Chain A
Amino acid sequence: MSVSTAATVSVRVLLFASYAEVVGRQSLELSLPAPATVGALIRRLRELPGGAGLPERPLVAVNHAHARPDSPLSERDEIAILPPLAGG
């Protein structure tokens, strides 16, 4: 990647349902210091305007699969912050 330095990881963040309402947006781009994890991303999100309404440990998916707080993030990953699931 010529546009990004090795010192940061840029990811796309998606917010859904009640979380999108709390934060006031459905998606955003974030750059985090490398190496980045799901947990670090959540801490950063909670510092943003409206982000304090997110829980400390929400459900998170990375590239369409459930992830853990220590899951590593890579450049251009799609991170989804998932409110309590209510399907079925």
Chain B
Amino acid sequence: MSHLTTAPLELGRLVTRVSAPGRGGIACFLGVVRDQQGGRAVARLDYSAYEPMAEAECERIVTEARGRWNAEVALEHRLGRLEIGEAAVAIAAAAAHRDAAFAACRYAIEQVKQRVPIWKREEYVDGGVEWVNPQAVGRPDGPTAGVPEPATQTEWGV
């Protein structure tokens, strides 16, 4: 199952994929493109990935959620050019009950952010273009330009 696509994401398809008679709770998350970043108006953005590893990491996340909560997780991340309001990531997590479904869904999105090699290049209304560094956002003492220092983002050997 591919977790990466350049086509618009459809949450309903993911819900269908994880639905089963024994799964009474389905939690969903949709991450969409915001119209601003750090006070700057965003025009659109472009996602790129180290695709074979991104696929492998997504699959590992799904497998971990299955083992930990007995939850079935469908997870897709979009690549390429996205406009404001379009979904960048969609997750559906189904389990016997809601607690496990919510937990698995939350786990999946947090792990995507920490582990999956995907990058975001934002184009701003003012004409600027920048690679987004989540570590620098909202951190006045963080690196804001040039090559960022990522060592604190993810623990080595996740």
Chain A residues in the interface with B (C-beta under 8 A): 14, 16-19, 22, 53-59, 61, 64-69, 71, 80, 82-88
Contact = CB atoms under 8 A, between A and B. Distances in A.
A59 B154 contact: yes
B18 interface: no
A86 B56 contact: no
A86 B120 contact: yes
B131 A18 contact: yes
A26 to B, nearest CB: 11
B47 interface: yes
B158 A87 contact: no
B120 A87 contact: yes
Contacts of A58: 150-151
Given A17-B119, A55-B150, A59-B150, A82 B47 contact: no
Contacts of B151: 55-59
A83 B156 CA distance: 14
Q: How large is the interface on B (under 10, 10 to 19, 20 to 34, 35 or more residues)?
A: 35 or more
A36 B23 CA distance: 48
Nearest to A21: B131
Given A16-B119, A19-B147, A86 B109 contact: no
Interface string B132-157: 11111000000000111111011011
B109 to A, nearest CB: 6
Contact of A80 (B50, B89, B146): B50
